[in-house]
Amino acid sequence: MALGNEVLIGKKPVMDYVTAVIFQFNTGSDEVILKAKGNMISRAVDVAEIVKKRYMGQVKLDGFAVNSEVVRNREGQTRISTMELTLKK
Amino acid sequence: MALGNEVLIGKKPVMDYVTAVIFQFNTGSDEVILKAKGNMISRAVDVAEIVKKRYMGQVKLDGFAVNSEVVRNREGQTRISTMELTLKK
């Protein structure tokens, strides 16, 4: 779920990812990058919003990137959006 | 679905919103703002990615804002994330 200062957003409850981000900030990171694909993008935005509210102005959204990648599945291949949100303390 | 140069992302097929954005660009807008809430945020990112690919480098993501708002429903009130993506030609 967390690699270095990255947090990969998946299907776990939102609060699990909020906890992972807060842990990163509390153990010395100034910056945490949330990474999400497809439907998980909405969840990443939820995580960012909750962390911002918890830290009341101390954490802000510092960067944002969207991209897409090709994924192969049983029906052939499809394009899926990806997003990175950078939170800074 | 489209107000001025804004496109509100809802539950219609992604390509409906892509068409709405392209229409805005083709009728003189230099800038289109995609607005989405909750689960529709992922779809807004899909729309942005498809438009970027269609315009092959002519359209770029120029701005990004996330926020949240309180929504009242039958169970009481809940907080929902909102996002605005600005596409510029």
Residues in chain A within 8 Å Cβ distance of B85 = 66
How does pLDDT run across A6-57, given as a tens digit for each residue?
Answer: 999 999 999 999 999 999 999 989 999 999 999 999 999 999 999 998 887 7
How far from chain centre, in Å, is Cα B77? 25
Q: Chain B within 8 Å of A40 (Cβ-Cβ)?
A: yes
CA–CA dist B24, B2 (Å, integer): 9
What string of DSSP letters covers chain B?
Answer: -EETTEEE--SS-HHHHHHHHHHHHHTT-SEEEEEEETTHHHHHHHHHHHHHHHTTTSSEEEEEEEEEEEEEETTEEEEEEEEEEEEE-
Structure ipTM over 0.90, yes or no: no
- Please give, rounded to a whole number of angstroms, the shortest distance from the CA of A3 to a CA of chain B: 23
- Report CB contact under 8 Å: B49, A40: no
Q: Chain A within 8 Å of B64 (Cβ-Cβ)?
A: yes
- Report CB contact under 8 Å: B45, A40: no
Give, for all 89 residues of chain B, the pLDDT tens digit: 555 799 999 999 999 999 999 999 999 899 999 999 999 999 999 999 999 988 877 999 999 999 999 988 888 888 899 999 999 99
pTM: 0.88
Q: Which among A40, A48, A66 has CB closest to B61?
A: A66
